[in-house]
Amino acid sequence: MADESVSAPVVNDQDPAIAAADEMKLLGYAVQELPAHAVKDLFAHEVCVRCIFRLFNIHEEDMAIKSTEETVDVKSLHSSPELEVKSSICSVCLGVLQFSYLDERDTLLGKDHAEDFAMAVAESVKEKGHEIPSFTLEVSLPTLITENEQVILSYLKKKYASEVWFQEKFSSEHISVKDALKLSMTHPLEKLLGVKSGGSDFRIRLTYEHVDATSAENRTGKNQGNKRIKSDESNGLVKCSNGTMQSGDVSDINSPLRKVGQPCHMTLVCSRAPVFIGGRYLKFSRNVSQTRWIIDEERKGEASVEELIGGNILPMCNGDSYKFHAAGREDIDVRMLGSGRPFLVEIQNARFVPSEVSIKEMENKINSLESNLVRVRHLKVVGSQGWSLMREGEAEKQKQYAALVWISRPISDDDVEAVTSLKDLKVLQRTPVRVLHRRSPLDREKTIHWMKIEKIAGSCQYFLLHLCTQAGTYIKEFVHGDLGRTNPSIGSILGCRAEILQLDVTDVKMDTLTE
């Protein structure tokens, strides 16, 4: 591909004369390690000095510690027409290791050293307002870089494989463009951000995209199913994954080697792994849903547990969004009392990870809401394992309820004994009629661990039913039978019609998450 002039404005903090001198020094180090004709050959194909170092496993930092006066005659290099420093974009790294890139406004930015580029990255990270205890640097590159690199390597092997210097210097293992960039950036970023890198949930991601690579993929159907170019080490030919061969000779290297006229677009994104804040909630209203409930653009209920808790935690973490997870659910008209129901609030991209003091402030804020619809207990940061712990405990957890029940005849002492004597009662529940529109029609076997009846003074047909059940048991249906879809039921056990008037969850036994 022919070179194209770049009309975008260039921003470069370095004096061009100083930049050229630095490039000449690097070039001098390369000439010391490799024959001048080989360096010239690579320069003719617009391979930058850092890629020359990289392809032959020459470490730039080792070269930099050598004395310039002793090793490099900069003036003679400037006067050599064979080793003229070009300002073109590298045909291999596409400007990545030249620290040249286009920003989101298509402005061409250029940095001459890793330290300068790291400073620009660090300033951008700080502007996003993240609290940074440590960081992980991630880099994403276009596949064109890998493809062009394979073409160059194939060409070098075919042309120079018989020469002694090549046999001594060349290795099939060399550092990639991605790793080279990360190695050059990590230490300067550590100094500029004042934290260490590695194993962090805070990620700095540099994504490079190139318009030439994108347009070529579109023209060929996304590179014919991601068929990357690979080199055949035996004969120096360029082998495509579809089985075709292309020559890597200098006479036709311009055919498979796609030269570019401008560097990649680079975008920087900072993100943190989700922060999980867990606890238990209590719900005191029979008109509050667990999650936001909108049907036909009309809200059901006066509020939701999700919004009352998550909506107050999110701004204190300065996150992008949140997700609410709970260990089971209760209907909108069922109160959640006792010790409360375990829950997690998953904060996406939190700029601030709350401390114990901040967590206490969150808890106090939620519990001080004037509506007094919801309260929270045992609030704390539980880590990424919190979600797994809650899922693991679901099958084993038990729930206790208190239900106000009416039956169609007076209750007797024999009824009380009949119900109380039942232990670990197996109940087969077909999906209730009321949830068939959103649940699969299945038969589920559940266990009623124990029950007891508390009589209400002055009433012979009303009583409080206290029971402990396996998670996922439909309590309302266990009382009235759901037209025979739940068997046995309180109605069938007592041999009469039974209805549930009010229901409260009084305890959710689940020790793995919040106890």
* Count of CB atoms situated within 10 Å of the CB of 104: 9
3-state class (DSSP) for residue 58: coil
Measured in degrees and rounded to the nearest 5, phi and psi for residue 54 equal -65, -45
Report which secondary-structure segment, H or E, holds 394: helix 385-394
Query: Among this protein's residues, is 331 annotated catalytic?
Result: yes
Can you list the positions of beta strands (E) in 80-124?
A: 100-102, 108-110
Annotated catalytic residue, options 331, 333, 413, 504: 331
Q: How far apart are CA 279 and CA 405, in angstroms?
A: 31
Residue spans of alpha helices (H) in 106-172: 114-127, 143-160, 164-169
Structure tokens at 258: 């796609």
Q: How far apart are CA 478 and CA 403, in angstroms?
A: 11
How would you classify the pairing of strands 10-12 and 108-110?
A: parallel
Q: How far apart are CA 256 and CA 237, in angstroms?
A: 11
For residue 53, which of 68, 32, 22, 71 has the smallest C-alpha distance? 32
CA dihedral of residues 27, 30, 34, 38 (deg, nearest 10): -40
Exposure string of 450-462, with b = 16+ CB inside 10 Å and e = fewer, is bbebeeeeeeeee
Q: CA distances (Å), 206 to each of 129, 135, 174, in order?
A: 18, 13, 22
- Beta-sheet strand order (sheet of 108-110): 10-12, 108-110, 100-102, 265-272, 202-209, 136-140
Looking at the DSSP bridge assignments, the partners of residue 321 are 348
3-state class (DSSP) for residue 351: coil
In the block, tokens 């009589």 appear at 455
209, 265 contact by CB (below 8 A):
yes
Looking at the DSSP bridge assignments, the partners of residue 208 are 266
Can you list the positions of beta strands (E) in 265-361?
A: 265-272, 275-283, 288-289, 294-295, 298-299, 303-304, 321-326, 335-348
Q: How far apart are CA 479 and CA 141, in angstroms?
A: 61
Residues with a catalytic annotation lie at 331
